[in-house]
Chain A
Amino acid sequence: MYQGWKMLELQGLTKIYNTGDKALSDVTLTIPDGQVVALIGPSGAGKSTLIRCVNRLVQPTSGSATLDNVNVTALGAAGLRKARRKMGMIFQEYALVERLTVMENVLSGRLGYVGFFRSLFRKFPQKDVDEAYRLLDRVGLLEMADKRADALSGGQRQRVGICRALIQDPSLLLVDEPTASLDPKTSRQIMRLIVELCTERGLAAIINIHDVALAQMFVQRVVGLKLGVVVFDGGPDDLLPEVLTDIYGEEDWEATIEKVDDEDEEA
């Protein structure tokens, strides 16, 4: 299963919030170059905490996260900003800056690369602007470039969020429940788009998701998290009903898993 070099390596990652909640305990995980991993688990399992500890929106209590041989956990402020450029993040509620235009939102992915005054006056290098247009064209939103983000639908917003993450030219995508606020059809489209783009660009990705069927449809590897502990790590086909019952509790898993096969594909 481990082909390329290690893109991300988590060593004993632990997070205890100051409320006392132990959200992650001793998570050790290696993700090779170009692999897309689905992180599943019930709400509160620590999925968001895990990916936030990687780019340090949340400060881990102990353990380390190493991205491409750089120990992100030990970096100072400047080093961290540099490392964050290599990690694109996609959020559940899209997290677009609502009052900015689509183009500004996409270009904000380049903030780590341009100086303050250039970014303040929106004077981005032409190659960034071109790349933004290419990405918007790729996700089918070229016409929306100058619309304000709050004028878009949920699916469209998430596409903009994807463009913002990709324009960073990352080597790893951190994706937090990309489909939780979308309807089932749009959810599948967005998942497919993310996975396709990862393949096109050879990106590694962690995708948090609690829709098991959706995860099984698209990824090569699934990691199961329960109360902050990794309880499963394997291929999508190894997700047997017993495993799911262990992670999520009792439910009719046959039906869920079967649904995957019945799902018809549409673009």
Chain B
Amino acid sequence: MSAALEAKLGQAWKKPPFITNPVFRWVLIGGSILYFVVALGGIEVSWDRIVKGMDYGKRFITAFGGIFVALFDYIRDVFPWLSETFPRFFGPPTGNDPSDSRWIEIWTEKEIIKGLYESIVMTVASTVVGIAISIPIALGAAGNIAPMPIYLFCRAVIALSRALNEIIVAIILVAILGFGPLAGFITLSFATIGFLAKLLAEDIENMNKQQAEAVKSTGSSWGQWINFGVQPQVMPRLIGLSMYRLDINFRESAVLGLVGAGGIGATLNTAFDRYEFDTVAAILLTIIIIVMILEYLSGVIRGRVQ
């Protein structure tokens, strides 16, 4: 038996701590607990209001369930073949006239369609413009191909776009341009630039140098070099990121209306103000469904191009 072993036998074993300095460790743990307690304790809770609000909560959940069922019934009544093909899942048809559905009623009456339509229009336009502007900015923000002054300028644009919350940009733009989808469109385009140009620039910086060099060595012009040496390498990711951004822009477009920048948000805000939970539930359900569809589509497209 070695001496080293003899020294260890009978000794308790403890896992070495993640932070080795004991003072620092205890200050960190103590500080975190203290912050947690103080921060949580500082939150004012009005129980009376919550008791009253529980009723609203219940109404919202009931409305959400109701609108979900109404949508389900609607789908079944519009597509009778679903009940025949998946009888276990869809059950027998209700036999009602689909155009009498509560879902349709809420959906058409409360200007939901108009708001959604505006949201989608803003999403599409801002994503396209955002991508178009992102590409030159990304080229300028890639350290390996852009000259210094252009690099700094493009990086500054990206940093600004990322630091400013969409809602805040929208507030400022509404103050300048007035209410309406134009403010929302510019907001989302600007936000797209920060997101897309940054990731794309990183991609260009990480691309395979040899491939790009090979094209350069053929004596091509700068434009040809970008077209043949750079573009093929980053194109799949550009498409993937654009689809992802389309999805984000739609989600964001749903809240810009809260500050007057167009889209479904304004309708939603009014519905909340009037405690019309049927409308709220219908809007939320529609948003969730559209986001799910977009996510699915972007997954398929990303799978295709990569």
A residues bordering B, Cβ < 8 Å? Answer: 101, 103-104, 122, 124, 126, 129-130, 132-134, 137, 142-143, 145-146
Contacts and interface: CB of A to CB of B under 8 A. Distances in A.
B2 A130 contact: no
Contacts of B1: 137
A44 B79 CA distance: 51
B13 A103 contact: yes
Contact of A133 (B9, B14, B15, B16): B9
B51 interface: no
B27 interface: no
A152 to B, nearest CB: 16
Nearest to B4: A142
Interface residues of B, number: 13
Contacts of A142: 2, 4-5, 8
B12 interface: yes
27 contacts: A101-B15, A101-B16, A103-B13, A103-B15, A122-B13, A122-B14, A122-B15, A126-B10, A126-B12, A129-B11, A129-B12, A130-B9, A130-B10, A132-B13, A133-B5, A133-B9, A134-B5, A134-B9, A137-B1, A137-B2, A137-B4, A142-B2, A142-B4, A142-B5, A142-B8, A145-B8, A145-B13
A203 B29 CA distance: 47
B250 to A, nearest CB: 39
Contacts of A124: 13
Interface of B: 1-2, 4-5, 8-16
Contacts of B12: 126, 129
A104 to B, nearest CB: 7
A85 to B, nearest CB: 21
Closest 4 CB pairs of A and B: A137-B5, A129-B13, A133-B8, A122-B15
B4 to A, nearest CB: 6
Nearest to B16: A146
Contacts of A122: 13-15
Contacts of A146: 16
Given A129-B13, A134-B9, 9 more contacts: A101-B16, A103-B15, A104-B15, A122-B15, A129-B11, A129-B12, A133-B9, A145-B13, A146-B16
Nearest to B14: A122
B197 to A, nearest CB: 36
Residue among B1, B2, B9 with most chain A CB within 10 A: B9
Residue among B13, B14, B16 with most chain A CB within 10 A: B13
A103 B16 CA distance: 10
Contacts of B8: 133, 142, 145
Contacts of A126: 10, 12
A225 B8 CA distance: 45
Nearest to A131: B9
A248 to B, nearest CB: 41
A213 to B, nearest CB: 33
Contacts of B4: 137, 142-143
A148 B5 CA distance: 20
A129 B14 CA distance: 10
Contacts of A130: 9-10
Nearest to A130: B9
Nearest to A103: B13
A132 B8 CA distance: 10
Contacts of A101: 15-16
